């Protein structure tokens, strides 16, 4: 029984090994990854009047970090549909001091519950000293 298992194991192993070979070890019919394409020689650019960028200066094509953040958040200028244009026309322009009136104690607000109040009243910081409290 043991001899039979050994013969089956050797036959299976040699069949699997033979399947990997193809038509010989030294056969180079497969493509050579280094001979597929010749590398172009390096060329010095013709414009030598370029100046190195100043350290910390934004790239001229990318804009400032604030512009990048606004584009990422709001998507930049986009074509508006007729319904959206109509809604914006009916809404009219916002009051110039709207942002300062939001925090005014006399402004009427809707109570959102204690969770929202706790989130808004959370201390500022990077959260390294934050603790989790599970309400009981």
Q: How far is CA 119 from CA 101, 103, 122, in A?
A: 21, 16, 5
7 pLDDT tier (thresholds 50, 70, 90): very high
- Mean pLDDT rounded to a whole number for the chain: 77
Q: How far apart are CA 59 and CA 56, in angstroms?
A: 9
Q: Which two tokens stand for residue 114?
A: 């204690």
Q: What does the pLDDT look like over 71-99, one tens digit per residue?
A: 778 776 677 889 988 998 898 888 887 77
Contact 80, 88 (CB under 8 A): yes
Task: Name the token pair of 116.
Answer: 């929202």
**pTM (2 decimals)?**
0.23
Task: Give the contacts of 65 (CB within 8 A, at least 6 positions apart).
Answer: 58
pLDDT at 8: 93
pLDDT value at residue 9: 92
Range list of H helices, the chain: 2-21, 65-74, 82-91, 98-102, 114-120
pLDDT at 27 over 70: no
Per-residue confidence (pLDDT) for residue 64, from 0 to 100: 76
Cα(88)–Cα(72) distance, rounded to whole angstroms?
Answer: 22
15 pLDDT band, cuts 50/70/90, is confident
The predicted pLDDT at position 94 comes to: 81
């Amino acid at each position: 029984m043991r001899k039979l298992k050994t013969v089956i194991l050797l036959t299976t192993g040699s069949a699997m090994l033979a399947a990997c070979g193809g038509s010989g070890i030294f056969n180079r019919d497969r493509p050579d990854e280094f001979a597929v394409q010749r590398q172009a020689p390096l060329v010095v650019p013709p414009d030598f009047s370029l100046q190195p960028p100043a350290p910390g200066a934004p790239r001229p094509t990318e804009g400032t970090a604030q512009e990048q953040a606004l584009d990422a958040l709001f998507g930049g200028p986009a074509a508006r549909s007729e319904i959206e244009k109509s809604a914006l026309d009916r809404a009219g322009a916002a009051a110039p001091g709207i942002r300062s009136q939001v925090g005014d104690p006399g402004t009427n607000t809707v109570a959102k519950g204690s969770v929202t109040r706790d989130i808004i009243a959370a201390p500022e910081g990077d959260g390294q000293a934050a603790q989790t409290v599970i309400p009981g």
